[in-house]
Amino acid sequence: MLKYFAEELLNKCSSLRKKWEDEVKKLIAKRPERKERFSTVSDHEIKRLYTPEDIKDLDFEKDIGFPGQYPYTRGIHHTGYRGRIWTYRMFSGLGTAKDTNERWHLLLKEGQTGLSTAFDFPTLMGYDSDSPRSAGEVGKCGVAIDTLEDFLVLVDGIPLGEVTTSMTINPPATVMWSMYIACAKKQGVPLDKIGGTIQNDMLKEFIAQKTFMLPPEPSMKLISDTIEFGTKYVPKWNTISISGYHIREAGSTAVQELAFTLRDGMEYVEHAMKTKKLDPDEFAPRLSFFFNSHIDFFEEICKMRAARKIWAHVMRYRYKAKNPRSWWMRFHTQTAGCSLTAQQPYNNVVRTAVEALAAVLGGTQSLHTNSLDEVYCLPTEHAVQIALRTQQIIAEETGVANTIDPLAGSYFVEKLTKEMEEAAWEYIEKIDNMGGMLAAIEQGYPQMEIANAAYKFQQQVENGEKVVVGVNKYVTEELQEIPILEIDERVEKEQLKRLEEVKRRRDDKAVKKALDNLRNACKKDENVMPYCIEAVEALATEQEICDVYREVYGVYRDPGFF
């Protein structure tokens, strides 16, 4: 083991520290510090000062090392952002496919380098725009997609062989991915040339975001189907984005986000290995992750450093992957929506900038920065522009991308990274002992842990222990009016008309046949992807396909754990 500091230095440090502590004791006896206890936004206690003694047990090679080398604490790429800046990837989608396509072209013109799709709630839940359950929701929080016809409009003029597209879609991930694949085929782009991501992470839906459709087991089956299909035919596609973002938004601590996300990842790896007989090196390089960047600057940076390190260890030793690419944790980051406030909304620009900086110092591969108005509605064009510029300023003005992992070696940062790693392992082992993440979810364990953390934080805000500027401190009476983007009723009407028209002119027999084939595939436990593609090409609607899944696999409902 290669100790970080020589014994001599540590001895010196220890005697100096004692002297300093004596002085501090006298000083604070006269004038106490601002608080008795300091802690992160996750309520992780932070000491007054960190010194070499705090990291004396770290192993330089095994804990820190070099970028591009195991354990990747300092990043997965040898050249960090010097080689290539992270991808500016703004999550965007609104109204009809045409509305979103226009917004996408605007973002690409403004210098965005990747696309990211926000679907509306009916699409996310596997309902068509004409379902009674969709009333009032069509096109509201994202783009409404019912059939391939909509998808073709969505990607109109976008070269699918060049731009990568991320799709935040979970229970119906097979359907949206099939539509994307069908569009690529129409554009004449071979499947091994298209790149992008489907979120496709159902475990975090059961845990936190509650966008669910099928029970856990069949949900896992569909995910493993996509992993298998991607491995064989769409090798540049990330078939899953294992997400901590929503876990954090639901109120978890940073450590819970870290631990539950990685344990979810492990569950997917195990499922694909077991049910598809895949070797981890066949698919692990295409697993991607997605984290939240919250307002507590150092905690977030350390979380991301610890995440890379744990994942590398897990892939290398628990699953025996041999390809270093399987050890890489590549992740997207979004700044924390839950840190934004409706009060004094312009302050949100500042919060987002700080959070984005943390994500960059944590080594993210791509980044979405929230717009200042997202606590009210979908962002206006102007608000999106400020958010995108925030990233561009960090990347191209501030100089933080000049060197790799600039905070490494900080006593505090290295210590906190280690503490988070250890705390995450504790959770992971606990879940292992419960029989894995599916078993833990069934017991409501992660759900309850998050709910408790969320409630605790709320109480800390209520009693002023945690400050939220403009909410419980520095409150102003006068309102700051900001422009609001409203999705009007036109969208729902247009979309309903479109859907009706597609249903009228499609070949119903072909639709029925394709859906029957899909149903059979489900029942025979075949990979659903080829049949799903066939169904979308026959212009089956999203809901028609999802209804087949619901019929065969059953429906999952909110168990409402408390």
* Six token digits for residue 468: 């939220």
Query: Could you tell me the end-to-end alpha-carbon distance of the chain, in angstroms, rounded to an integer?
Result: 46
Angle at 408 between CA 34 and CA 261, to 5 degrees: 85
Residue 132 sits in the site that holds other proteins (CB under 8 A): yes
Phi (first) and psi of residue 449, to 5 degrees: -60, -40
The residues in 133-162 that bind other proteins, with binding defined as CB under 8 A, are: 133-137, 140-141
Residue 496 sits in the site that holds other proteins (CB under 8 A): no
Dist CA 311 CA 421 (whole Å): 11
Closer to other proteins by Cβ: residue 191 or 482: 482
Residue pair 252/447 in contact (Cβ under 8 Å)? The answer is no
Dist CA 344 CA 167 (whole Å): 31
Classify residue 268 as exposed, middle or buried by CB count within 10 Å of its CB (0-12, 13-18, 19+): buried
Classify residue 376 as exposed, middle or buried by CB count within 10 Å of its CB (0-12, 13-18, 19+): middle
Q: Which of 451, 496, 502, 510 binds other proteins (CB under 8 A)?
A: 451
Residue 41 sits in the site that holds other proteins (CB under 8 A): no
| Shortest Å distance, C-beta 375 to other proteins | 6
Beta bridge partners of 115: 90, 165
| Shortest Å distance, C-beta 472 to other proteins | 7
DSSP secondary structure code for residue 379 in this structure:
P
CA atoms within 13 A on the CB side of 109: 8
| Shortest Å distance, C-beta 551 to other proteins | 9
Phi (first) and psi of residue 266, to 5 degrees: -65, -35
Closer to other proteins by Cβ: residue 233 or 376: 376
Residue 460 sits in the site that holds other proteins (CB under 8 A): no
Q: Interacting stretch for other proteins, rule CB under 8 A, among 4-12, 359-367, 532-540, 554-562?
A: 554-562
Dist CA 383 CA 372 (whole Å): 6
Q: Interacting stretch for other proteins, rule CB under 8 A, among 154-162, 283-291, 301-309, 436-444?
A: 436-444
| Shortest Å distance, C-beta 462 to other proteins | 6
| Shortest Å distance, C-beta 205 to other proteins | 7
Closer to other proteins by Cβ: residue 205 or 296: 205
| Shortest Å distance, C-beta 305 to other proteins | 27
Closer to other proteins by Cβ: residue 114 or 122: 122
Binding mask 392-431 for other proteins (x = CB under 8 A): ----------------------------------------
* Six token digits for residue 403: 């060197």
Residue 483 sits in the site that holds other proteins (CB under 8 A): no
Number of residues that bind other proteins (CB under 8 A): 58
Residue 467 sits in the site that holds other proteins (CB under 8 A): no
| Shortest Å distance, C-beta 442 to other proteins | 7
Q: How many helices (H) and strands (E) does the chain have?
A: 22, 9
- Determine the residue type at 75: G
Residue pair 405/364 in contact (Cβ under 8 Å)? The answer is no
Collapsing DSSP to helix, strand or coil, 243 comes out as strand
Residues lying near other proteins in the complex (CB under 8 A):
121-122, 124-125, 127, 132-137, 140-141, 205, 209-212, 215-217, 249-251, 338, 341-343, 375-378, 435, 438, 442-444, 451, 454-455, 458, 462, 468, 471-472, 479, 484, 487, 553-562
